[in-house]
């Protein structure tokens, strides 16, 4: 390790790179090369849990202007991913014989597990920096349903609608883990959801997916760059399918057995087994 910093300051990052390069120049030639016999493979990487055959989404968050589409796009944005396993997707999607054009019953196709994961881990205020996820008990509303608009053999196109609201008080509810903050500050996000998806009900998978979430954020977390900007102010999210194997930021908090966890003595358990109920 020749240098390390966690900063949004270009000057401080540049100084770290200069110092690291100087240390590299001071190394003897033999110190710059790995032993070809050395085993340097990491014992654990979060992307080892990549859900083959499941739902893998790329997510962009962005600050929005109160002026709407007439304003120039904000350069305050961030990206993340969201995962659902093949088994989770299969449990969400109906059998082809159950599909009806228009609402499938009063609720349409129920995508509740995806709505819950979106509200907890994806629709978070990280457009300006690192933020925190929400505990199940902090999810006041999470709903996502699909209305069938076209059936072409096993391929079914649906319109997605829904809404979420997550609100965290000054009490940390996610247990003792690596995300536990030093400061606990009230914050929240509320969104309306709209999108489309194509389901392959023979393969039990999503063939296409695009979702937009637009709403309001308020409060702040320790590192999300809001400072005294407690809001409320508008924020938006865009989610699409991706083949990238980058692990979600909060993969360690999913609390599922299909994502391998590191076997190290100091690792603290995910709070997913805490039994917290949504209020």
Place of tokens 């790179």: 17
Contact 82, 122 (CB under 8 A): yes
pLDDT digits 0-9 by tens, 57-70: 999 999 998 887 77
DSSP H helical ranges for the chain: 10-26, 86-92, 112-117
Q: How far apart are alpha carbons 195 and 191 in whole angstroms?
A: 13
**Residue 231 backbone class (left: φ over 0; alpha: ψ -120 to 50; beta: rest):** left
pTM as predicted: 0.84
**What's the confidence (pLDDT) of residue 261?**
87
Where is pLDDT greater, at 107 or 118? 118
Is the predicted pLDDT of residue 266 greater than 50, yes or no?
A: no
Count of beta carbons in the 10 Å neighbourhood of residue 250: 21
pLDDT digits 0-9 by tens, 184-233: 889 999 999 999 999 999 999 999 999 999 999 999 999 899 998 999 99
Burial classification of residue 22, based on how many CB atoms lie within 10 Å of its CB (0-12 exposed, 13-18 middle, 19 or more buried): exposed
Contact 71, 65 (CB under 8 A): yes
- Residue 234's DSSP bridge partners are 216
CA 72 to chain centre: 26
User: Collapsing DSSP states into helix, strand and coil, what is residue 229?
Assistant: coil
Burial classification of residue 234, based on how many CB atoms lie within 10 Å of its CB (0-12 exposed, 13-18 middle, 19 or more buried): middle
Q: How far apart are alpha carbons 96 and 124 in whole angstroms?
A: 34
**What's the confidence (pLDDT) of residue 277?**
44
Q: How far apart are alpha carbons 120 and 275 in whole angstroms?
A: 15
**What's the confidence (pLDDT) of residue 177?**
83
pLDDT digits 0-9 by tens, 19-29: 999 999 999 99
DSSP assignment of 57-105, as one string?
EEEEEEE--TTGGGSPPPS-EEEEEEEE-HHHHHHHSPPGGG--SB-SS
């Amino acid at each position: 390790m020749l240098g390390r910093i966690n900063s949004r300051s270009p000057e401080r990052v540049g100084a770290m790179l200069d110092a690291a390069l100087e240390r590299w120049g001071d190394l003897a030639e033999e110190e710059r090369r790995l032993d070809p016999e050395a085993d340097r493979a990491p014992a654990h990487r979060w992307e080892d849990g990549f859900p083959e055959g499941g739902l893998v989404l790329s997510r962009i968050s962005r600050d929005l202007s109160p002026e709407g589409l007439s304003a120039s796009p904000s350069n305050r944005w961030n990206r993340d991913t969201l995962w659902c396993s093949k088994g989770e997707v299969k449990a969400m999607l109906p059998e082809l014989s159950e599909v009806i054009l228009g609402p499938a019953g009063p609720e349409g196709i129920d995508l509740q597990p995806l709505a819950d994961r979106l509200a907890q881990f994806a629709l978070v205020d990280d457009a300006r920096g690192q933020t925190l996820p929400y505990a199940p008990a902090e999810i006041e509303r999470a709903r996502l349903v699909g209305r069938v608009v076209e059936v072409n053999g096993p391929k079914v196109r649906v319109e997605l609608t829904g809404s979420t609201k997550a609100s965290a008080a000054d009490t940390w509810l996610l247990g003792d883990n690596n995300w536990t903050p030093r400061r606990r500050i009230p914050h929240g996000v509320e969104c309306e959801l709209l999108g489309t998806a194509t389901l392959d009900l023979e393969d039990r998978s999503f063939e296409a997916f695009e979702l937009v979430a637009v709403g309001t954020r308020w409060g702040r977390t320790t590192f999300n760059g809001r400072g005294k900007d407690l809001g409320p102010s508008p924020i938006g999210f865009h989610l699409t399918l991706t083949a990238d194997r980058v692990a979600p930021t909060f993969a360690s908090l999913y609390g599922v057995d299909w994502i391998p966890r590191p076997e190290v003595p100091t690792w603290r358990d995910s709070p997913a087994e805490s039994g917290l109920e949504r209020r």
